[in-house]
Amino acid sequence: MAGAASTVERIIERLATRRHGVVTRKELLAAGLTREQIDLRVRKGLLIPVYPGVYRVGHRAPSVEAHAMAAVKACGHGAVLSGLSAAHLLGLVTTPPQRPEVTAPTYHRIKGIKTRRSRHIERTWVRGIPVTTPARTLVDCAAELGDAELARACHEAFVRYGVTPEDVEAVLARRPNAPGAGRLRRVIHGDSEITLSALERRFLDLLREAGLPLPQTNRRVGSYYVDCRWPEHRLTVEIDSYRFHQSRHAWERDREREREAYARGDDFRRYTPRDVVEAPGRMLPELRALLPHRRQRSIFRS
């Protein structure tokens, strides 16, 4: 009996290890366990029910991944994490939703899960968890995020996954009536005045105080989004916050962005938090030499 029990535990452990400590009744039965063996381990607390037929294996403090995996498995074959849950797992937003969101080919009503039905699901995998692609996730979340939050999510999608406006438009072509589609288009195509950080807002405040014209912000120009650009003055400025410029990939991307600016005939300047916050007196004279001194209204279109 002890040998049989040990074999059962090894089967459960093998299944759970590949699935963030989450297994389903169907998977356990397919692996050779009997209903009685499963029910016994539920009574002993070795299998902890999360949703009908979905269990955590012996842990009461699950990870984000375990929560996500359990919700997806509860919704059956073809299901993926979606909406704000997908945005959180992908790193596009920082705050998790109150309950997991899952999209599946067939409709499910499961207590504790926000479910959606979709025949066409753009999917990828994050740490072994099926999830909507970053572009599809932006479309699904557009109506639920404020303008600044949506802009940050789009920026994260570009920085982390290389998502382009064309990627988002391809999803919108299949979902033309998606809630928030108009707002999302304005953000990804640069038709909304967006600042992503307190550092950028401080930079714009300094320009206003100095009577200098305001730039377009966070617009796609060529292959990249740029922080600030004055197209009529052929000037591009990047505000290098520490958060987005630490990795080798970010460093190489910054160099490519700079080369593109010069290739299109722009002058190019790069400013750090110290330039903007601690020593703007050195930055502003340089900008005065590059821009008119008179105050102008913000420019939203090139």
Encoded tokens for 285: 């004279």
Would the pTM count as exceeding 0.75?
Answer: no
Q: What does each of the 302 residues of the chain score in pLDDT, given as a tens digit?
A: 555 667 888 888 888 888 899 999 999 999 999 999 999 999 999 999 999 999 999 776 678 899 999 999 999 999 999 999 999 999 999 888 989 999 999 988 999 999 999 989 999 999 999 999 999 999 999 999 988 888 889 878 887 888 888 999 999 999 888 999 998 998 887 666 555 677 888 899 999 999 999 998 877 788 777 889 999 999 999 987 655 444 455 667 778 888 999 999 999 999 988 899 888 998 999 999 999 754 443 333 33
Helix pair 64-74, 83-90: axis angle to 10 deg:
140
Collapsing DSSP to helix, strand or coil, 239 comes out as strand
pLDDT at 250: 61
CA-CA distances (angstroms) from residue 66 to 9, 17, 52, 246? 19, 11, 15, 30
* Radius of gyration over every alpha carbon of the chain, rounded to an integer in angstroms: 25
Total count of residues recorded for the chain: 302
What is the predicted pLDDT for the residue at 154? Answer: 87
CA dihedral 24, 103, 131, 241 (to 10 degrees): -130
SS3 call for 235:
strand
**Domains of the chain listed by start with CATH number:** 2-60 (1.10.10), 65-188 (no CATH), 198-290 (3.40.960.10)
Burial class (CB in 10 A: 0-12, 13-18, 19+), 167: buried
Give backbone dihedrals phi and psi of 289, rounded to 5 degrees, phi first: -75, -20
